[in-house]
Structure 1
Amino acid sequence: ARRWTQVSAHGWTKRCSRTWRRRREGRCRSSEKKVFWVETESQEAMIAAVEGGIDRFVFPEGRTELAEAWEKIAKIRPVYVKGGKMHDASGKQIGHFQVIEGKEDLDAAMSMAGTDGIVVVDPRDWQIIPAENLVAAYQPEAQTQLLATVSDAASARVMLESLEVGTDGVVLRTNDSNVVRKLVKYREGLLRGDALTLEVAEVVRVLPVGMGDRACTDFCSILTHDEGLLLGNFARALFLVASESGESQYIASRPFRVNAGPVHAYTLVPGGKTKYLSELSAGDEVVTVDVHGRQRTAVVGRMKIERRPLVLVEAQTADGRNHSIILQNAETVKLLSAEKLPLSVADIKEGDRVLVHLQAEARHTGIEIEERILER
C-alpha cells in the first residue's frame, strides 16, 4: 500500500513501495505494453477482435481444427493449451496455463514468478485480493509476463489496474462480440494514454476580475505535488493547475484536491475529450497530469461550487498567441511552472513561465472537431 509522510511546505513525499517508484519511473507494466488475448468459439467474436487489433487467440485442448479454420479467415496467432502448458503454432512452449481453484493453485501460480515466458492464471472464483497477491509477486520479475482470464471489459480493467500496475495482460473468454468490442474500446483508451506534450507559456497579464462560482475538485486518489488538472478558458490551451499537496500557513495540505477554477472552465477527460467543470460530479473520471506530461485517470469524489474572488492569468506561447485561465484568487491555488514547481497565483507576475498543453481549438460536446472558431 502507498504510505504518505507529511513534510515541509514543499508538499507531501511518499515513503513509497517499489510498485509506485517503478510506475512513476516508467519501468513497470506500462499501458502501451499490455497484452490482450481472446478465447472464443464464436467466429463473430473472433472477427471483432481482429478488427480491433487483437490477433492472439487461445485454443484449449481439442480445438486445433477451429484454429486451423480461422487461420484461413483472418491472420491470427493461435496459442494452444495442453496439460497446463502453452505452445505457439510452431509447437514451441511459450508459457504455463494455471487453473486456480484454491490456495494450492494460487501458490503454484505465484511460484512461477521469475520463470521465462508467460503465465496465464485462470481462476474459477476470481476476487480482487488474489489478483493483488499475484501482481505483487510478479512485479519484481520483469522476465515473466502475467496474464489473467476475464469475462468482460470491467473485469479486465480490475486485472490490468490491480495495485496500480496490474497484470501484463488479460485473456478475454467470451462468445459475445459486443463484449469483445468493449474490451477493444478499453484497449484503445490505454493506447491513447501516452505522455502529453507540455509547452512553456510566459505570463503577460494578471488581473483580478471580481467574484464568480468556483469549482473545487476532490478526488478519490492522492495526487503528488507536481501533479494536477489541465484547465483553461479555452480548449486550445489548458494550464496545469497543481493539487493542494503543499502545506500553507492558512490551511492544511489536501493532496486529493485541485482548486480548479470557475464553472465554465474546460478540463481534460479520458478519450481526448473535454468537459466543463460544471458538468462534473461524483463518480466521473478526469485526466490528471504531472509536470512530465504523464497522465492517469482519477475518479471525482466530490465537486464543491462556491462563490469566490477570481483572478485572470494570461500567458503567451512561443507561437505568439495569448491564452488565459481564471482561477480563485487565493494563496493555495497554484500553477505549475516551467521549472516544474508550484507557483501561487498570489505571487504570480508578468514574466513568470508556466506549463500549458496545446490542442485543437474547436470542440463540440467535448469532442475535437475541424471547424473555424474564434474565442477570446
Structure 2
Amino acid sequence: MAVSSSLGSAKALAPVRASLLAPQSQGAVVASASSRRASVRMRASAASPAELNKTVWVWTESRQVMTAAVERGWTTFLFGSKDLGRDWSSTARIDPLFIDGPAIFDGDNQKVAVISQVSSPRELELVQPDNVEAENIVIDFRGGWQVIPAENIVAAFQGCRGTVLAVSTNSTEAQVFLEALEQGLDGVVLKVDDMDDIIKLKDYFDRRNEAKSQLSLTKATVSKVEAVGMGDRVCVDLCSIMQPGEGLLVGSYARGMFLVHSECLETSYIASRPFRVNAGPVHAYVTVPGGKTSYLSELGSGKEVIVVNQNGLWRTAIVGRVKIESRPLILIEAKDNSGDDTYSIFLQNAETVALITPDTGSGGRTAIPVTSLKVGDEVLVRKQGGARHTGIEIQEFIVEK
C-alpha cells in the first residue's frame, strides 16, 4: 500500500516526534504546538540519551502488555477499536492513537501518521521523502525481507524532519530496525501480545543508555612485577575494532580491574589485531554490561563485554571467539594512591600484552607492555565492590588475597 493521502496536520508533527522521544512526554500528542515545545524542553533533560532518539509505540490487545509498557515509561498505544482505547484510557494514563485504514489519528481526531505496507521493491520506492506528504510514517514490512529495506529507508530519510517507524512483532525485530545502518530507524511500533517482548526491548534500551555514561578510572602505582610460570590464558576476539587507548577491564579481584590494552598497535614481529585483547588467565574477572563481571573462562561467541578507553568512555561489544592456550604468565600488583588497597592481575608475558596508562594530555604513551613494566609505573584501574554472586555486586563480608 503506497502512501498517497496528505497529512493536513503535518507541520504540527515535528514537535510530536520530539515529545515521543522521551516516554514520559507522550501526553504532548494532544497538546497545542506551543505547549508541546515547552513540555519537550522540560522533559528532555530527564530522558535517557539513547531513547531521546528513538520512538516506541505499543500495539496490543493485552492488558498485561499495556501494564508492562506503562511501567517502563511507554504510554503511546495504537488501537483498532476506539472502544478499547477509551476503556484502557479510563484505567491507565496512556495516550491512545487510533488506526483507520492507512491513517493514524489521535484522541482529537487529528491525523498524526500514515501506515505504509511494503512487500516489494516497487512499494519501497514509493516510500521516499519526495513521494509522501506525511512527516510521520509507520512502515509495515511484509514478505520476509526486513534488514535491507530498513537500511534503504534509513538512507533515504536521513536529515528529514519526520519520524519513520517500523512495525515489529517481537523485540528481536525491533532491534534490527533500531540498528539498521548503525543509526537505525527513528523508532518502532511494537505489535506484541507477550509482555516478555516489552521487558526485553526495555533492557536493550537500558544497555544502550548505560553505554553513554563514563566510568571512573583511578591511577594505581605498580608495586610488583614477577614471572610466575605457565597458565591457561584467554584471548578475547571481538566483533568490533578497537582503537589505541581502548581495552577490557580485567582483574584477579572484582574490587580492582585493570584496563588491558587491545592488540591494535603495530609491531615489528606481528601484525596488528585490533579486535583482540589478550586478557589474562581463565580465573580472572572481566567487566560485562549491567555492572556485572564474568569469568574469562565463561565468555564465548555471542556474549557481550564492555570496551573502555583511557578516559573511561565505554561501549558494548560482542564476543566473536575465545581462545584458551597455555602460556607463560606474569603477576602484576598495583596500589591505589591511598596505598591501602592492592590489586593484582596475571597476564601473558609477551610484548603484545599491555596495560593502559593515565592520559597525561601531553602526547605521552597510551600503554606499557608488560615486558617493560616496572615498579613505580602508573596504570589505570577501575575500583568497585569486591563481593560478587554470579557476577552481581552484593553487600557481604569478603576477604580476597
TM-score range relative to shorter protein: 0.7 to 0.9
Partners of 2:308 and 2:244 lie apart in 1 by 11
TM-score (normalised: structure 1): 0.82
Within 5 A, what are the aligned runs for 1:104-253?
104-111=122-129, 118-125=136-143, 126-141=145-160, 143-211=161-229, 212-253=231-272
Name the SS of the counterpart of 2:91 in structure 1: coil
User: Which of these residues, 76, 79, 92, is aligned with residue 59 of structure 1?
Assistant: 79
Q: Which amino acid aligns with 1:47?
A: T
CA deviations over 1:55-92 (Å, ceiling 9, x no partner): 121224xx222111111111112233445444443445
1:330 aligns with 2:354: no
On the 8 A contact 2:49/2:209 being kept in 1, the answer is no
2:43 is aligned to none
Partners of 1:272 and 1:322 lie apart in 2 by 21
1:289 is aligned to 308
CA deviations over 1:147-177 (Å, ceiling 9, x no partner): 2211111111222222232223221101223
On the 8 A contact 1:273/1:366 being kept in 2, the answer is yes
Distance 1:242 1:116, change over 3 A: farther
2:287 is aligned to 268
Distance 1:178 1:365, change over 3 A: same
On the 8 A contact 1:208/1:329 being kept in 2, the answer is no
2:296 is aligned to 277
Name the SS of the counterpart of 1:111 in structure 2: coil
Name the SS of the counterpart of 1:343 in structure 2: strand
Within 5 A, what are the aligned runs for 1:292-371?
292-320=311-339, 321-339=341-359, 341-371=366-396
- Higher strand proportion: 1
On the 8 A contact 2:177/2:184 being kept in 1, the answer is yes
TM-aligned CA deviation for residue 199 of structure 1: 1.6
Q: Which amino acid aligns with 2:123?
A: D
Name the SS of the counterpart of 1:296 in structure 2: strand
1:49 aligns with 2:74: no
Partners of 1:190 and 1:127 lie apart in 2 by 22
Question: For structure 1, which segment, 146-155 or 80-89, has the greater mean C-alpha deviation from structure 2 after superposition?
Answer: 80-89
TM-aligned CA deviation for residue 293 of structure 1: 3.1
1:80 aligns with 2:80: no
Name the SS of the counterpart of 1:370 in structure 2: coil
Distance 1:332 1:204, change over 3 A: same
Rg larger for: 2
Partners of 2:287 and 2:326 lie apart in 1 by 23
1:22 is aligned to none
On the 8 A contact 2:49/2:212 being kept in 1, the answer is no
Distance 1:119 1:226, change over 3 A: farther
Partners of 1:232 and 1:110 lie apart in 2 by 51
Partners of 2:382 and 2:132 lie apart in 1 by 41
On the 8 A contact 2:217/2:311 being kept in 1, the answer is no
Distance 1:110 1:369, change over 3 A: farther
TM-aligned CA deviation for residue 41 of structure 1: 1.5
Q: Which amino acid aligns with 2:274?
A: P
Question: For structure 1, which segment, 66-75 or 130-139, has the greater mean C-alpha deviation from structure 2 after superposition?
Answer: 130-139
TM-aligned CA deviation for residue 283 of structure 1: 2.7
Count of aligned residue pairs for this structure pair: 345
On the 8 A contact 1:209/1:310 being kept in 2, the answer is yes
Question: For structure 1, which segment, 124-133 or 363-372, has the greater mean C-alpha deviation from structure 2 after superposition?
Answer: 124-133
1:373 is aligned to 398
Name the SS of the counterpart of 1:72 in structure 2: helix
Partners of 1:42 and 1:194 lie apart in 2 by 33
On the 8 A contact 2:256/2:381 being kept in 1, the answer is yes
Partners of 2:194 and 2:64 lie apart in 1 by 8
TM-score (normalised: structure 2): 0.78
TM-aligned CA deviation for residue 140 of structure 1: 4.0
On the 8 A contact 2:225/2:375 being kept in 1, the answer is no
On the 8 A contact 2:57/2:74 being kept in 1, the answer is yes
Question: For structure 1, which segment, 293-302 or 87-96, has the greater mean C-alpha deviation from structure 2 after superposition?
Answer: 87-96
